[in-house]
Amino acid sequence: GAVVSQHPSWVICKSGTSVKIECRSLDFQATTMFWYRQFPKQSLMLMATSNEGSKATYEQGVEKDKFLINHASLTLSTLTVTSAHPEDSSFYICSAKPTLRSYTFGSGTRLTVV
């Protein structure tokens, strides 16, 4: 089946540094990828939708200058958390749609900012 590979699975960084999270579609082309954020014991909240070759669409309240999204190819989308702070600590998950009616999720990235 369709697979989305997400790396790293976990990362610890110092406050003020930047962290990049990658999501790759391994056996299909993903013109669109979705980035979600999940706080402990909470649901997934859509942060942004990345489109190959164009600017990402951010949800209301998400700082686009802090969460930089790049979707330069049909198989790779990246989320960079810039100048990370402890409040950015969370679980980040990407997903893509191999077909119009199905989703495939990455395995998630646990970010801890110290």
Partner 1 sequence: AQTVTQSQPEMSVQEAETVTLSCTYDTSENNYYLFWYKQPPSRQMILVIRQEAYKQQNATENRFSVNFQKAAKSFSLKISDSQLGDTAMYFCAFMKMWDYGGSQGNLIFGKGTKLSVKP
**Beta carbons of 75 and 4 less than 8 angstroms apart:** no
User: By CB under 8 A, is residue 43 in contact with partner 1?
Assistant: yes
Is residue 17 a contact point for partner 1 (CB under 8 A)? no
Out of 22, 64, 97, 112, the only residue in the binding site for partner 1 (CB under 8 A) is 97
DSSP assignment string, 31-98? SEEEEEEE-TTS-EEEEEEEETTS--EEPTT--TTTEEEEEEETTEEEEEE-S--GGG-EEEEEEEEE
Is 34 a binder of partner 1 (CB under 8 A)?
A: yes
- Counting contacts by CB under 8 A, is residue 28 touching partner 1? no
Binding site for partner 1 (CB under 8 A): 31-32, 34, 38, 41-46, 49, 51, 57, 91, 93, 95, 97, 100-103, 105, 107-108
